[in-house]
Amino acid sequence: MDIKANLEAVKKTFINPDCLLVAVSKTKPLSDLKDAYRWGVRDFGENKVQEIQAKQPEMPDDTHWHMIGHLQSNKVKYIAPFVHLIHGVDSFKLLKEINKQGKKINRVIPVLLQIHIAEEESKFGFDTEELQEMFQDPGFMTLTHVSIQGLMGMATFTEDEDQVRKEFRSLKNLFESLKKETLPAFVQMKELSMGMSGDYLIAQEEGSTMVRVGSAIFGSRG
């Protein structure tokens, strides 16, 4: 796998050069991460707590670790000290646990709220009603050790580009409407994490600020 060539090929197609490329290195060996680091990658995405914990001490200190997968509340404590951004916050319960762990170590932890945009039932995330419910909860206002930086979403796994575009557009619309809402200072709509190897160009066309690209850089998994 020529990681350098793949990185260049992916970067070359970017519609928005300011969009952050998060290199999704899940299941890949450390040597692949080191290779990507050598070619300038600082942002890595992992979806398993155990794996991110194992890799983190082996990489340079300026590596940014993105937790992109579904995160269980009882595992937050293991990544709280070093995680750069948690993309998949999909419940108030999880957000409260991240806040609790941040408080313990006196660290404000940056997160994104995952929104359910896909047709598929299987994908995680808030729907807009649940989101408003959380925003209105008195407990929400009292959070002190999380910084909500934006939204994340995953489109339906389909060849139908119109469907994917429609889903990304709905996420972008929600992002823009939340920007106009009066929300606590720890909620900022700056980042929109959408797009993977198969759909990152559509995502960029629809306003993504960070894409999570794995197989197009490191090759297919398993």
- Residues engaged in binding ligand PLP (CB under 6 A): 24, 26, 47, 68-69, 154, 196-198, 212-216
Cβ at position 104, least distance to ligand PLP in Å:
27
Cβ at position 145, least distance to ligand PLP in Å:
24
Cβ at position 197, least distance to ligand PLP in Å:
3
Cβ at position 88, least distance to ligand PLP in Å:
7
Q: CB-wise, 68 or 115, nearer to ligand PLP?
A: 68
Q: CB-wise, 69 or 150, nearer to ligand PLP?
A: 69
3-state SS, residue 75: helix
Q: CB-wise, 26 or 77, nearer to ligand PLP?
A: 26
Q: CB-wise, 83 or 216, nearer to ligand PLP?
A: 216
Q: CB-wise, 152 or 187, nearer to ligand PLP?
A: 152
Cβ at position 15, least distance to ligand PLP in Å:
17
Backbone angles phi, psi at 168, to 5 degrees: -65, -40
Q: CB-wise, 69 or 102, nearer to ligand PLP?
A: 69
- Cα separation, 171 vs 194, in Å, equals 9
For the four alpha carbons of 120, 122, 125 and 131, in that order, the dihedral sign comes to positive
Cβ at position 27, least distance to ligand PLP in Å:
9
CB 112 within 8 A of CB 91: no
Using Cβ positions, the residue closest to ligand PLP within the complex turns out to be 214
- Cα separation, 204 vs 16, in Å, equals 6
User: Can you list the positions of beta strands (E) in the chain?
Assistant: 20-24, 43-46, 64-67, 85-89, 109-115, 146-153, 187-193, 210-213
Q: What share of the chain is helix, strand, coil (3-state, %, to 5)?
A: 40, 20, 40
Q: Cα–Cα distances in Å, from 218 out to 29, 32, 40, 87?
A: 10, 7, 15, 20
